[in-house]
């Protein structure tokens, strides 16, 4: 994985002068310690930061609305500080990090439910990344080595028939941990999907994004859009595609295992029209 992250990042989802990449870390009630599960996400995010031209990292801690304003402010500062210190421990320069605790402000879910409170007990980490020159142009990790493309039969994708309502998992579509940045190893699967779309000009699809480990609807949407943007960039008409995020609501593996988490961090397509 580390070697892969150091390869050329062949696709950047944002075409603006700066790209924002966000990761959310959640906490138990009245706690500021980072869980083992979230530490793995932070490890991947730290590798991504060190592998790219990151201008600034913003770390904001939050709480649910339980307790006094003063208590929540202090707890949110501890949560932000906990994440900041973890990133510094992983080699991120402290001067690049802006850290602040914002108490119970800016909830992202309903504080009248336990599920909503759990979502609000969080720290957001946002990295402002300066895109590399021509980073918007997809290229292979090693341009001298041709990427294999499956020779699909008409009306099929891999060994699967293209039937309306069928959902097909795009195997080997991988992202930098905690982001929607596609890794170079995703190129063959993307090219196979592109080939299928070109060979079946009336085919219409929904692209679904999924995440593991924690509810993160924005990230699941961004991952689906990454595939959408790739196909659109390669000439597939946008009217033939839609994209949607499912957060962690449709798991196909067990989040308690690394293999299960890998299965759940996925993008799939659903055939809408042949």
Q: Quick: pLDDT tens for 128-158.
A: 776 543 234 333 333 333 344 444 544 446 5
Residue 160 confidence (pLDDT): 66
Strand partners, 157: 160
Work out the percent of the chain whose per-residue pLDDT is above 70. Answer: 80
DSSP annotation of 152: P
Fold exhibited by the domain 156-273: 60s Ribosomal Protein L30; Chain: A; (3.30.1330)
CA distances (Å), origin 218, targets 27, 108, 178, 207: 19, 11, 11, 14
Helix (H) / strand (E) element for 56: namely strand 54-61
- Long-range CB contacts (< 8 A, 24+ apart) of 70-78? 72/103, 72/104, 73/101, 73/102, 73/103, 74/101, 75/30, 75/32, 75/101, 75/103, 76/101, 76/102, 76/103, 76/104, 77/101, 78/32
Structure tokens at 176: 């930098």
Output the pLDDT for position 44. Answer: 81
Position 130 scores a pLDDT of 61
Please give the Cα distance from 80 to 125 (Å, whole number).
Answer: 9
Same fold across 7-129 and 156-273: yes
Q: Which CATH homologous superfamily contains domain 7-129?
A: OmpA-like domain (3.30.1330.60)
Q: Are strands 204-209 and 19-26 parallel, antiparallel or unpaired?
A: unpaired
Residue 125 main-chain phi, psi, to 5 deg? -120, 115
State the pLDDT at residue 113: 92
Provide the residue-wise pLDDT of the chain in tens; the chain has 274 residues.
Answer: 333 332 223 233 333 334 667 888 899 999 999 998 888 888 888 887 877 767 789 999 999 999 999 999 999 999 999 999 999 998 888 888 999 999 999 898 899 999 999 999 999 998 877 654 323 433 333 333 334 444 454 444 655 678 888 999 888 887 776 777 777 788 888 999 999 999 999 999 999 998 888 788 888 888 888 898 889 888 999 999 998 989 888 888 888 888 888 888 889 999 999 8
Interior angle at CA 19, CA 120 and CA 83, nearest 5: 40
Model pTM score: 0.48
Report domain extents, the chain: 7-129, 156-273
The pLDDT score that the predictor gives to residue 241 is 93
Q: Distance (Å, rounded) from C-alpha 227 to C-alpha 192?
A: 12
């Amino acid at each position: 994985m580390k070697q892969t992250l150091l390869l050329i990042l062949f696709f950047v989802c944002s075409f603006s002068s700066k790209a924002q990449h966000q990761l959310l870390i959640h906490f138990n009630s009245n706690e500021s310690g980072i869980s083992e599960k979230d530490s793995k996400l932070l490890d991947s995010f730290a590798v991504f930061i060190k592998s790219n031209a990151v201008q600034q990292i913003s770390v904001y801690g939050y709480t649910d609305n339980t307790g006094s304003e003063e208590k929540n402010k202090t707890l949110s500062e501890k949560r932000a500080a906990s994440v900041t210190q973890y990133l510094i421990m992983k080699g991120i320069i402290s001067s690049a990090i802006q850290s602040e605790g914002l108490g119970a402000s800016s909830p992202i879910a309903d504080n009248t439910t336990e599920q909503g409170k759990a979502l609000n007990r969080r720290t957001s980490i946002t990295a402002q990344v300066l895109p590399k020159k021509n980073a918007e142009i997809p290229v292979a990790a090693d341009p001298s080595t041709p990427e294999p493309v499956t020779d699909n039969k008409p009306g099929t994708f891999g060994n699967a028939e293209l039937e309306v309502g069928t959902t097909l998992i795009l195997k080997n579509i991988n992202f930098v941990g905690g982001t929607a940045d596609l890794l170079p190893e995703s190129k063959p699967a993307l090219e196979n999907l592109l080939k299928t779309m070109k060979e079946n000009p009336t085919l219409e699809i929904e692209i679904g994004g999924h995440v593991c480990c924690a509810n993160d609807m924005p990230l699941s949407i961004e991952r689906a859009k990454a595939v959408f943007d790739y196909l659109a960039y390669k000439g597939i008409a946008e009217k033939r595609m839609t994209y949607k995020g499912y957060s962690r609501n449709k798991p196909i593996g067990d989040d308690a295992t690394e293999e299960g988490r890998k299965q759940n961090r996925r993008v799939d397509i659903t055939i809408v029209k042949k």
